[in-house]
Amino acid sequence: MTSTSDTPVIVARGLAKSYGKLRALDGIDFTVGAGRIVGLIGPNGAGKTTALKAILGLTQFDGELSVLGRDPSAARDALMQEVCFIADVAVLPKWLRVTQALDYVAGVHPRFDRARAEAFLATTDIRMNSRVRELSKGMVTQLHLALVLAIDARLLVLDEPTLGLDLLYRRQFYDTLVNDYFDKDRTIVMTTHQVEEIENLLTDVIFIQHGRVVLDSAVEDIGGTFRQLICAPDHLERARALAPFYTREIFGRTAFFYEGRDAAELAALGELRTPSIADLFVAKMQGAAP
């Protein structure tokens, strides 16, 4: 991945984690540069949450892992001064009042700006004395946003932050996050199942399956490496002979996915395009399936 800084925010080398006989992370390598928005994307059970737990110092691991220049296992307290973590919106206790949520974050994170959180909440219909159970899911999302926007963290980790929300609130969450929070001095790592909704926000993607990295790429480099060919019917055999790594049928037409093939070689066989991140994810997952 490219980086806007000489010092990567996260460096993993041979990162591994097992739960009994289950190999949740199978010796993976990846690097996250500063000022990037990285999508850690994979199916259920792929190892995404385990990787995030290792990054946050919440689980022991084998291999090497550096986060903001620190070992998250040995220096978690110091690391958490510069990191913000938000899981899905269902994690806030139902009995908690909004003002108590602000009190709590102010007490545990030295870079929390309470005045900024209150200013954001003032633009919503959320009352400071309301309990979480009295808020709609959309309002809980807004509360999460208030907490995130008010923390001056170098690394923001989001694990399915919009799970269970409707499209309107999911879109609002990501738009606010990028427009009001993100800058070149901050890095965001997020997991989500709604790949289509965030692909235009991402600078980098890491696809993970069965505890292994299937793809680690800057988004800007995808077009130079991967190509999707909607093949003309009379060129199907020629297209198959060029060894696509994945094939699918789309409304009666055949789409072939290639890695590292020259565009000129493929262009004569049909309609050539750069695959979307969502389509590439499906192709990589199913193409690599055992």
Does residue 86 sit in the same domain as residue 114? yes
Domain total for the chain?
A: 2
Bridge partner list, 248 = 255
Query: How many angstroms separate the CA atoms of 230 and 77, rounded?
Result: 52
β-pairing, 187-191 vs 83-86, is: unpaired
pLDDT band at 108 (very low <50, low <70, confident <90, very high): confident
Does residue 47 sit in the same domain as residue 170? yes
Query: Where in the sequence is the domain holding 169, given as residue range(s)?
Result: 34-51+80-210
Domain limit, last residue, from 146, 175, 210:
210
Query: How many angstroms separate the CA atoms of 250 and 123, rounded?
Result: 45
Residue 121: inside a domain? yes
Does residue 279 sit in the same domain as residue 166? no
Does residue 169 sit in the same domain as residue 243? no
Please name the residue that has the structure tokens 């850690």. 40
Does residue 229 sit in the same domain as residue 199? no
Query: How many angstroms separate the CA atoms of 154 and 144, rounded?
Result: 17
Global confidence as pTM: 0.88
Q: pLDDT tens digit string along 187-246?
A: 999 988 778 888 999 999 999 999 999 999 999 999 999 999 999 899 999 999 999 999
DSSP string of 145-175, one letter each residue: HHHHHTB--SEEEEESTTTT--HHHHHHHHH
Does residue 236 sit in the same domain as residue 278? yes
Residue 278 clears pLDDT 70, i.e. is over it:
yes
Domain limit, last residue, from 189, 210, 231:
210
Residue 58 clears pLDDT 70, i.e. is over it:
yes
Nearest Cα to 211, choosing from 35, 40, 27?
27
Query: How many angstroms separate the CA atoms of 156 and 86, rounded?
Result: 8
Does residue 135 sit in the same domain as residue 257? no
Does residue 169 sit in the same domain as residue 238? no
- Average of per-residue pLDDT values in the chain: 89
Residue 258 clears pLDDT 80, i.e. is over it:
yes
**Predicted pLDDT of residue 90:** 58
User: Is residue 167 within 8 Å of residue 128, measured between CB atoms?
Assistant: no
Does residue 190 sit in the same domain as residue 248? no
Q: pLDDT tens digit string along 152-180?
A: 889 999 988 887 778 888 888 888 888 88
Domain limit, last residue, from 210, 237, 265:
210
